[in-house]
């Protein structure tokens, strides 16, 4: 039986072992490319791959579990082993990862008393049930059973959230109960009380997350250990993520990162975050919230060692040279050749307004009061509220109460205003001119916050209500719009300028290659390619083009559907062979 132990050092089969790992999130990369990305990690000299596990994908609806396709965690781990890599698995219910709600499923918020990431019995019961489905997928892939999994993480950066040690201990017990045999670790920032808050030293090895001052932070970790224990940076941040509205695409200094990597490997082990970032497909980007809402863009390029589309960077080559001083660099041919292609410009084929199709793609819920997305069993996307608000008069006080994140107000299906983040909740006035008037409100979930205290307040849509002249408006039709059934759209319906709309394109390709779609002149929305949800676009940038992997395409006719919410559309889309993530800085 093979063994991996944590003592004064890491020991693989009783021999000292330096973990040289890189992060790849299987759920951000199409399965057809898993082997390519893993091979490139091995060819750089790394011996291990690390990945998070997103609870909110594997149990998107409560009690319904998915482990197929892009969610085939078992296959990803087996592919890593075939390539010659060990695995660090981070199956915590919370992953952060700039991912929607930090990987927590939205339906947790249906409990009005929910206490996320605490020893709250209903929360623990749901985790235990999830673990009972998750761990059978990977239990026999542990190193002790001939698999590649060396160690697993308990929770994630818990010390920057709370210090409920009983919760952490129960997490460990739940993992052990499911047959986890590998050593356990925790990972926290080395600042303030984070290490003290987030660790259970008798049950899991503390590691740190940081991107600079490695020598200083290793010394902090050494003092915190209080004895001879291996030093490891579980997340060595070599880049950063972008939010909509940033004025540039974040990059980092290769020279600085190389110096810090040298310091990591001179004293301990490392997991490079990210080796390959990938893509926030669909609506799965997370958000941060400090002074304002900052939803992440569709690309998770992260200025990583491989680009979003899998191309090695100059930083990759520089890291490879450093790693060569500590490990043998293997040589073998890549199993596939990736190509990119500029397919050119295509014109719109058909277009239809959301309002003429809404009863086709959604069934209304009738209530006296608005319901949040969570109350409608909806995770992501949009939700539309409709109510009759009476005859012509002045509306002196119009307010949306406890509403997130971006709200379009329509009067008689004409756009009145768009409110975003802190604008929502302010009082506005306007005049009604018809004998009977219809109020419509389209609300978009821009991505639930994935870090810090705002996570406890992530109900999307309208949670409380709508004020009309000082009183709550009643009698609502509520249309959940997860946008997962666009095949049902009848494009022969009516289109009206200025309304949210769906535009359909037919694009004939003679071969399938990676490509990048640009929407010049469009406002805000999302793109679907042959039924695959690519992600959001927004004219405010910084990202200007969306990555479309070749496995999403077909030889011959391809159907592209673009939803645009702001009434700002064009008649063309363009496919390029190069990305445009915005000006670098």
Q: Give the residue numbers annotated as catalytic, written as ranges.
A: 157, 235
- Tokens 């091979």 belong to 39
Nearest to 57 by CA among 133, 113, 156: 133
Question: From residue 275, how far is each of 107, 316, 361, 475 by CA, in Å?
Answer: 31, 9, 39, 51
In angstroms, the Cα distances linking 526 to 78, 249, 460 are 33, 20, 18
N-terminal to C-terminal alpha carbon distance within the chain: 50
Contacts of 107 (CB under 8 A, 6+ apart): 61, 62, 374, 377, 379
Q: Which of 93, 194, 82, 219 is nearest to 141 (CA)?
A: 82
Is 422 in a helix, a strand, or coil?
helix
What HEC string does 150-185 produce? EEEECCCCHHHCCCCHHHHHHHHHHHHHCCCCCCEE
Burial class (CB in 10 A: 0-12, 13-18, 19+), 510: exposed
Tokens of 125: 């019961």
Q: Report the C-alpha gap between 508 and 480 in whole angstroms.
A: 33
DSSP run (H or E) holding 126: helix 121-134
Looking at residue 259, what DSSP letter applies? H
Cα atoms in the Cβ-side hemisphere of radius 13 Å centred on 413: 12
Running DSSP on this structure, what letter comes out for residue 575? E
């Amino acid at each position: 039986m093979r063994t991996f132990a944590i003592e004064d050092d890491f020991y693989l089969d009783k021999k000292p072992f330096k973990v040289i790992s890189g992060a790849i999130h299987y759920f951000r990369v199409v399965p057809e490319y898993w082997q390519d990305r893993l091979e490139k990690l091995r060819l750089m000299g790394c011996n291990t791959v690390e990945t998070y596990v997103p609870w909110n994908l594997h149990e998107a609806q409560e009690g319904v579990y998915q482990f197929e396709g892009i969610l085939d965690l078992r296959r990803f781990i087996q592919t890593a082993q075939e390539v010659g890599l060990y695995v660090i698995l981070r199956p915590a219910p919370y992953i952060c990862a700039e991912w929607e709600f930090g990987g927590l499923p939205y339906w947790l918020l249906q409990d009005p008393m929910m206490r996320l990431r605490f020893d709250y019995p209903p929360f623990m019961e749901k985790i235990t049930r999830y673990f009972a489905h998750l761990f059978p997928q990977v239990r026999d892939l542990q190193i002790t059973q001939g698999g590649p999994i060396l160690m697993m993480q308990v929770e994630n950066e818990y010390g920057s959230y709370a210090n409920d040690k009983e919760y952490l201990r129960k997490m460990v017990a739940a993992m052990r109960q499911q047959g986890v045999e590998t050593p356990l670790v925790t990972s926290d920032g080395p600042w303030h009380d984070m290490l003290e808050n987030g660790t259970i030293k008798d049950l899991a090895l503390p590691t740190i997350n940081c991107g600079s001052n490695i020598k200083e932070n290793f010394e902090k970790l050494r003092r915190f250990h209080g004895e001879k224990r291996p030093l490891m940076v579980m997340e060595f941040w070599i880049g950063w993520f972008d939010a909509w509205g940033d004025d540039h695409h974040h990059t980092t200094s290769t020279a600085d990162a190389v110096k810090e990597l040298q310091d990591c490997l001179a004293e301990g082990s490392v997991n490079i975050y990210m080796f390959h970032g990938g893509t926030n497909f669909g609506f799965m980007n997370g958000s941060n919230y400090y002074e304002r809402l900052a939803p992440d863009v569709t690309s998770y390029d992260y200025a990583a060692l491989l680009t979003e589309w899998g191309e090695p960077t100059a930083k990759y080559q520089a890291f490879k040279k450093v790693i060569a001083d500590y490990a043998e660099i293997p040589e073998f041919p890549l199993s596939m050749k990736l190509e990119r292609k500029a397919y050119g410009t295509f014109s719109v084929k058909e277009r239809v307004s959301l309002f003429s199709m809404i009863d086709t793609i959604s069934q209304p819920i009738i209530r006296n009061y608005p319901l949040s997305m969570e109350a409608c069993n909806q995770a992501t996307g949009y939700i539309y509220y409709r109510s009759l608000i009476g005859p012509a008069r002045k509306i002196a006080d119009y307010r949306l109460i406890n509403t997130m994140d971006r709200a379009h107000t329509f009067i008689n299906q004409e756009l009145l205003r768009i409110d975003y983040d802190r604008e929502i909740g302010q009082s506005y006035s306007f005049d009604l001119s018809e004998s009977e008037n219809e109020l419509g409100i389209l609300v978009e979930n821009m991505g639930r916050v994935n870090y810090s205290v705002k996570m406890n307040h992530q109900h999307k849509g309208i949670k409380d209500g709508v004020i009309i002249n000082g009183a709550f408006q009643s009698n609502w039709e509520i249309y959940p719009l997860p946008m997962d059934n666009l095949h049902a759209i009848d494009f022969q319906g009516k289109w009206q300028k200025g309304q949210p709309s769906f535009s359909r394109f037919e694009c004939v390709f003679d071969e399938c290659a990676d490509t990048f779609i640009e929407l010049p002149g469009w406002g805000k929305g999302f793109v679907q390619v042959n039924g695959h949800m690519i992600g959001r676009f927004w004219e405010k940038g910084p990202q200007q083009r969306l990555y479309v992997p070749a496995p999403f395409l077909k030889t011959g006719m391809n159907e592209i559907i673009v939803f645009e919410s702001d009434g700002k559309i064009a008649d063309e889309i363009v496919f390029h062979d190069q990305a445009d993530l915005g000006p670098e800085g």
